[in-house]
Structure 1
Amino acid sequence: MNVFWSYFWPVAAAGLLAGAIAGTIGFRRQRLTTALSVGAAAAIIAALIWHGPLGAADRFATVVERTARQTLVDWEMGSVVAHLHRDPLSRHLVLIGRADDFQRSELARIMSALPGVGSAGWTDRLGGLPLAAEAALAALLSFLVGVLLAYLVELHRRYNAQWSW
């Protein structure tokens, strides 16, 4: 499972689309700040809707926790349970159960390498960046790429407009 393709691609696509539309409107109508602020808000709202009401966060958590559970079974660590940090949901995997010092350090290292896991540890105090915030940042980053593409298209249009054959 690739985190980008399973969770972030719709967010990135929505941000790119919002950036392209906002940039096109802003560069042509000379209301750049209004268009960009409305477009950025639309990209963030789309990311939050994808995260919550459309259920992408729950599907992501289910897949990551199932992978972690299978890894624990493969390593014969039945006394250890792994789940993602909740309230808010983040990519920090919390390990709970009996293990000696060597097992604790190695399980944290092995679980950190799982796809979709940002970090793993035996404490839930280090929650990490919430997944919704990561989605909003991905939407804003792709929004900026969309604005850049709209700017390049507008430059090309203006350059070609000076020639009248």
Structure 2
Amino acid sequence: MSRPKTEEFNKVKTVAENRRARYDYHIDDKYEAGIVLTGTEVKSLRFGEGSIAESYAEVKDDQIWLINANIPEFSHGNRYNHEPKRPRKLLLNLREINKLHGAVMRQGMTLVPLSIYFNGKGRAKVELALAKGKKAPDKRATEKERDWKREQGRIMRDRG
């Protein structure tokens, strides 16, 4: 029996990506979550502005919140602008929230946002991962493996 393929999300336009997360964490499960935004936040994201490099998610009162994500103020927003680093609510099913909450509490896992993107319907989504932190030897092994893959590609390309 073949191994089931991982579900890929319909990413039309990726706005922000947390590339460091794959280096710092072992990624277990990925979830697609909606995000509650104001009008000027959506406009800033559509212009490609935003950063989730130092952000994380946490569970409070059966809700998941995205903390420390930076969506800069919209240039033409005047008095209707938003606060750039405010906590933003993520939209998931209650069953998914309970599963994530249990993993965070019992297994010491972390909720890490991997990317913010717009899907095919034009809705802003967050790719959220359930992850476990890597230690220094694990990071070195990841670097070795990545370097070896790069070297393999060079050898194969040179030999034709």
TM-score (norm 1): 0.25
Structure of larger gyration radius? 1
Of structures 1 and 2, the one scoring higher in RCO (CA 8 A, sep 6+) is: 1
Q: Which has the higher strand share?
A: 2
